[in-house]
Structure 1
């Protein structure tokens, strides 16, 4: 699909709460486009911005491209507003993990990412509906969701905070009894976590889903069965391949998980509370993303 041009209007949705607070993104974006004839508009997300308010802002701007400036949570919000439309979504990675930006090969450096947002190529990708939530990256139940819950309450951000949360979680998280229904087949097992993967990797760079493809009409379900400290930390923090005896992978268009007890649940890095049932289905070609 085609590249952008300077007559297109760009709307930047900036999450001021994202990332490390070392860059004033609104100022940097304004400065970047100052010398160009590009029409831009910047909207800073207020706290607890509703989907309706954001949709209204996007509609009123009449923008040709909408760019999410933040982490996966900000991108998820913008993607939800534009799902089912042909308005392209750009990404300026400004979160702590930026999983989706890494997945799509978007530069992490600001100036380079702005160039891609203004004139990159367009690509349709699918999303997943998980318990009514729009998921563009990864959702899971169990260990990782518990880490995210712990991480949200820690003063340290970034990888140190994440490692600390993981260490705490390892000593207090128990295996789950899960019942999966995939393609009409029932699987009953114990698991440390079950990942519903649109993308291939976590924001830490770990390839949890080596067989993932954002343009097909399937998503992957990764069942982490054996609960070894090493395997879990390997999955979270390194790029080493995992042990297939301990981890199983399935391709599907829909899924139902039931658990005996309530379990921790997260979607795109945002903790959703505890659940004992998860339903997921593919949303083919749901959004258009701007890529290099």
Structure 2
């Protein structure tokens, strides 16, 4: 029996020929699925089309476009049990890369045809769905500066050039990071809270590979003292991600948590799944197994936490009381614990 599927197709995604891309998708999928093809427009987003498909009891929903299209469709499917198929045709393709979904149309279609699905986590950030990550500070400024024209013309190089520009405007800000069990106060350049992230999302790589199905958010804290230090951190995190190792620099910290709230002074811009959505404060909660995806990905292992070495950091465990807490001094940090 032929399965039915709604294909949500963004005709302006990426730098390829969209008509040829669609023809390839139809050639591979139509023998297996009864396709209902819906096109995004300037007026109608992938999210709107996905919500309509959900309301119409779609069996499967397939998103073909860049990260914006795939993320909006995915967000509409959180807690629905409707499987998502991703055929990435954008500039970064972060969602597909994070889940190791192939980045060619033919191979991505084969994953969908094969039919194997996996439950992965999602999240809510300030009442907005989050599939990938939220970036505060440096990453948000970089994404905002890399405009659509530059991305269409230069691809990933647009983000690299934007990042170099942001380094020239290098500065720190004060952050208060609250989790279920601690409150952290530290001066930083960037904070990245990831539900899922590919190795190319360098500032999310403190924990040596973001695990997208463990019910936890991966938080990476960047506290570089100089521009040269920020460049060195980026290179170190890139190498760490490539080697599957956790960051081991004194100006990089990381932790894993189900819930997090971040307040900054002064307020900082926030990028959510590749789009600027406002400024701090933000509050993010993980939704374990909130999304069903066609994916071939195997499970990986990551490091748990590394914080105390960050210069000037203060960590207060929420369980501590004035009668039982102990102050522990180190060379560059103060830790309050039971």
TM-score normalised by length of structure 2: 0.77
Aligned to 2:234: 233
Determine which structure has more spread, i.e. the larger CA radius of gyration.
2
Aligned to 1:180: 177
Q: Taking structure 1 as reference, are residues 230 and 40 closer, same or farther at Cα in structure 2, changes over 3 Å only?
A: same
Aligned to 1:29: 25
The answer to which of 22-31 and 69-78 deviates more is: 22-31
Residue among 241, 252, 277 paired with 2:257: 252
Q: Taking structure 1 as reference, are residues 157 and 232 closer, same or farther at Cα in structure 2, changes over 3 Å only?
A: farther
User: In structure 1, what is the Cα distance between the partners aligned to 2:22 and 2:85?
Assistant: 15
Number of matched residues?
284
User: In structure 1, what is the Cα distance between the partners aligned to 2:202 and 2:218?
Assistant: 17
Per the TM alignment, residue 114 of structure 1 is displaced from its structure 2 partner at its CA by 0.8
Answer whether contact 1:190 1:225 (CA < 8 A) is retained.
yes
Per the TM alignment, residue 104 of structure 1 is displaced from its structure 2 partner at its CA by 1.6
Counterpart check, 1:127 vs 2:131: no
User: In structure 2, what is the Cα distance between the partners aligned to 1:224 and 1:255?
Assistant: 16
User: In structure 1, what is the Cα distance between the partners aligned to 2:101 and 2:280?
Assistant: 36
Answer whether contact 1:8 1:63 (CA < 8 A) is retained.
no
User: In structure 2, what is the Cα distance between the partners aligned to 1:280 and 1:27?
Assistant: 39
Aligned to 2:273: 268
Answer whether contact 2:233 2:252 (CA < 8 A) is retained.
no
User: In structure 2, what is the Cα distance between the partners aligned to 1:231 and 1:272?
Assistant: 29
Aligned to 1:151: 146
Aligned to 1:100: 95
Counterpart check, 1:282 vs 2:286: yes
> Tell me, what secondary structure is at the counterpart of 2:268?
strand
CA distances 1:130-167 after superposition (whole Å, capped 9, x unpaired): 12221111111010110000002653431221221111
Answer whether contact 2:200 2:238 (CA < 8 A) is retained.
no
Aligned to 1:3: none
CA distances 1:144-202 after superposition (whole Å, capped 9, x unpaired): 11000000265343122122111111111421110111224111111110010112435
Answer whether contact 1:10 1:118 (CA < 8 A) is retained.
no
Answer whether contact 1:71 1:97 (CA < 8 A) is retained.
yes
> Tell me, what secondary structure is at the counterpart of 1:256?
strand
User: In structure 1, what is the Cα distance between the partners aligned to 2:238 and 2:178?
Assistant: 29
Answer whether contact 1:207 1:235 (CA < 8 A) is retained.
no
Task: Please show how residues 36-115 of structure 1 align to structure 2 within 5 Å.
Answer: 36=31, 38-49=33-44, 51-60=47-56, 62-115=57-110
Answer whether contact 2:177 2:263 (CA < 8 A) is retained.
yes
Q: Taking structure 1 as reference, are residues 207 and 260 closer, same or farther at Cα in structure 2, changes over 3 Å only?
A: closer
Answer whether contact 2:203 2:234 (CA < 8 A) is retained.
no
Residue among 174, 190, 211 paired with 1:213: 211
Aligned to 2:131: 136
Instruction: Flag structure 2 segments of 5+ consecutive residues without an equivalent.
Output: 297-338
User: In structure 1, what is the Cα distance between the partners aligned to 2:180 and 2:17?
Assistant: 47
The answer to which of 74-83 and 223-232 deviates more is: 223-232
Counterpart check, 1:190 vs 2:195: no
User: In structure 1, what is the Cα distance between the partners aligned to 2:282 and 2:199?
Assistant: 20
Q: Taking structure 1 as reference, are residues 144 and 37 closer, same or farther at Cα in structure 2, changes over 3 Å only?
A: closer
Q: Taking structure 1 as reference, are residues 276 and 206 closer, same or farther at Cα in structure 2, changes over 3 Å only?
A: closer
> Tell me, what secondary structure is at the counterpart of 1:46?
coil
User: In structure 2, what is the Cα distance between the partners aligned to 1:37 and 1:243?
Assistant: 48
Answer whether contact 1:99 1:205 (CA < 8 A) is retained.
no
Aligned to 2:323: none
Q: Taking structure 1 as reference, are residues 270 and 232 closer, same or farther at Cα in structure 2, changes over 3 Å only?
A: farther
> Tell me, what secondary structure is at the counterpart of 1:262?
coil
